[in-house]
Amino acid sequence: MEPWISDGRPEGTRLVRDLAPGVEGSSNQNSVEAIQKSLTVAGGMFFFVLGSTLWRSDGTEGGTQAIKELQGCLAEYWSAALGSRLVFRDCDALWITDGTRDGTQILHSGGFLGLWPLTNDRFVLEGYSQDQQGSSHFSLWVTDGSREGTQLVMDDVRFRGWPDIDFRLRLAGHRVFFWTESGLWSSDGSRDGTQRVMDDPFPSEELLFPWAGSIGDRLFQILFTCGDGHCTYSLLESDGTREGTREMDLSPAVLTYCYVGP
């Protein structure tokens, strides 16, 4: 992989810098998935991973520089723009960079599975760890890109429902929503602003959330559960407060398609 730049014309398309000269150097040193996950724009710079090295480029040869040697956990690498800086995961650590070596520092040591932007400069993160018995433990964190601003919001989060990380936390406005064994929770990234807004309506049955979306700062979600030989659907709406959370039974409707969003 080599970085190129283009203004949409053949004469305006050129190689920015030959990072690994030779035929072998131009071959893919990472999987397609790993390369796609590493491509992020932040602060007017383009960040990417080649081999096990994090690079940044401003579109010029001199402005294309190596930033950091990663520890090699490329399958677990992810990154996102946090304001004008880049926040990224390198194995079991959360890092921040402004595109320079001196401006690249660790925020917190620990596993993080993903992040959700509350604002342009504030993210909620899902923490992850395993004990000596191999049991998984999840937690909720927040970061503003500083060490003192990277804090634990909620510990021992016992998620319920869909196991895929992309479905566990849902963003609506400047809040995230998630289901635990005790019910639906909402968080604005602070301890005081993290609260249970609804008790679990089906504590003894399997609960799935096949569809969800947001309109403004309100969450809309289809709840699906089966038990005692029948299945039920309901529509959940929440503004992040207990008073503003309500459920409407949709049974006996059979849903084949649902779209929530703009």
pLDDT digits (tens, 9 = 90+) for 141-150: 999 999 999 9
Contact 185, 230 (CB under 8 A): no
Determine the average pLDDT of the residues in 193-208. 80
For residue 37, what are the contacts with CB-CB under 8 A and spacing of at least 6?
Answer: 77, 78, 79
163-175 residue pLDDT tens:
555 567 889 999 9
Question: What element of type H or E holds 41?
Answer: strand 40-42
What pTM value is reported for the model? 0.80
pLDDT (0 to 100) of residue 31: 60
49-100 residue pLDDT tens:
887 889 999 999 999 999 999 887 777 788 999 999 999 988 888 999 999 9
120 confidence band (pLDDT: 50, 70, 90): confident
Q: What is the DSSP letter of 243?
A: T
pLDDT (0 to 100) of residue 146: 95
Average pLDDT, the chain: 83
pLDDT (0 to 100) of residue 257: 46
Locate 188 and state its tokens.
């604005």
pLDDT (0 to 100) of residue 212: 79
Alpha carbon of 72 to those of 10, 30, 91: distances in Å? 36, 11, 7
pLDDT (0 to 100) of residue 258: 47
For residue 133, what are the contacts with CB-CB under 8 A and spacing of at least 6?
Answer: none
Residue with tokens 């400047």: 174
Question: What element of type H or E holds 33?
Answer: helix 32-38
